[in-house]
A = this chain, B = another copy of it.
Amino acid sequence: MRLTNFSDFAFRVLLFAAARPGRLITIDEIAETFDVSRAHLTKVVNTLTQTGYLKAYRGRSGGLALGKSPTDINLGDVLRATEPDFALVECMRSENHCVLTRACKLRGPMERALAAFQAELSRYTLADILLSETEFPS
């Protein structure tokens, strides 16, 4: 049971932006810091921009900044925006072929466990896990 790397990097991008409140950041900077491909990071940034967690400023001196205050960036909400799905077992997916689906009682406990996960993660915002810029490698 893992999150996607996409979500993992979304959290890192938000931490990176939150640690630099006075200025705009670039994908190149983030890619270099985390040693991750620019292409992968661009998709992550696009999702975070579309969902309002980041704001993109165009132009020669453009770049990215947090789109909301860290206290308004709920970690559970971020995860809901970045994970492709939370389909723990096959019957929770659209391409479901499990022959037990109609009678099966496993889905209930799975959904309640997932709800407990989300509820716990949603107790935190980005403000709770903020880092300062000096805590990033230079």
Contacts and interface: CB of A to CB of B under 8 A. Distances in A.
Interface of A: 1-5, 7-8, 11-12, 15, 33-35, 75, 79, 83, 85-90, 97-100, 102-106, 108-110, 112-121, 123-124, 128-131, 135-137
B121 A119 contact: no
Given A99-B137, A110-B121, A113-B121, 20 more contacts: A1-B2, A1-B3, A1-B83, A1-B85, A1-B86, A2-B85, A2-B86, A3-B88, A15-B100, A75-B106, A100-B135, A105-B130, A109-B120, A109-B123, A109-B124, A114-B117, A115-B120, A116-B116, A116-B117, A117-B120
Contacts of A8: 89-90
